[in-house]
Amino acid sequence: MGKGINTNAMDKLFSGLSGNEENISIEHEQANEESHTSEPPKQSQKSKGNRNQPVKQHICTIVKADSLNKIRAIAKTEGLTINSIIDLGLDIVIKKYEELHGTIQVKKPKKGDVGKVFNL
C-alpha cells in the first residue's frame, strides 16, 4: 500500500463539504506548492491564541440536498463561504429563540472523574 495520500479521492471527499470541487483543487495545488518551500508551515490563528477570533468547533450534520444546493448557489453568486452563511443562520435562530424565551445560559461542562465513573 502506498504511503502517499490519494489526492483525487481526498478532493472528491471534501468537495461536498466545501461546495466547489474547483476550489478544492486550487487549494490543494497551493498547499503542494507551499509544502515544497523551505519555510516552516504557518500556524493557524487558533493555535496562536488570537483572542479576536471566535472559537470555532467542527460539527457534522445531514441537511436536505435541495437546501444545501441553494446555499452553495448563494455562496457562489455572492462570493461567500458556506460556513459564513450557516453561521449567520444559526445566529438568527439563536437571537429569535432568545427573544421568545430569554437569554440562553450555557453551563460549563463538568469535568468527570474516571475513578468515580468506575467506582475505583
**What local confidence, expressed as pLDDT, does residue 109 receive?**
79
Q: How confident is the model at residue 37 (pLDDT cuts 50, 70, 90)?
A: very low
Specify the higher pLDDT residue, 11 or 2: 11
Q: How far apart are CA 17 and CA 83, in angstroms?
A: 10
Examine the domain organization and report whether 55 and 98 are in the same domain. yes
DSSP 3-state assignment of 66? helix
What is the crossing angle of helices 65-78 and 82-101, to 10°? Answer: 110
pLDDT value at residue 18? 52
Q: Let me know how long the chain is.
A: 120
For the segment 79-83, the average pLDDT, to the nearest whole number, is 96
Domain, as residue range, for 11: 1-38
| Domain total in the chain | 2
- 30 or 97: whose pLDDT is higher? 97
| Rounded Cα–Cα distance for residues 119 and 57 (Å) | 32
34 and 56 assigned to the same domain:
no
As to burial, measured by CB atoms within 10 angstroms (0-12 exposed, 13-18 middle, 19+ buried), residue 49 is: exposed
The CATH number of the domain where 70 resides is what?
A: 1.10.1220
Q: Is residue 44 part of a domain?
A: no
Crossing angle of helices 7-18 and 21-35, rounded to 10°? 130
In terms of domains, do 55 and 90 share one? yes
Mean pLDDT of the 104-118 span: 85
Decide if 56 contacts 108 (C-beta within 8 A): no
Instruction: State the Cα–Cα distance between residues 117 and 57, nearest whole angstrom.
Output: 27
> Rounded distance, CA 14 to CA 28, Å?
11
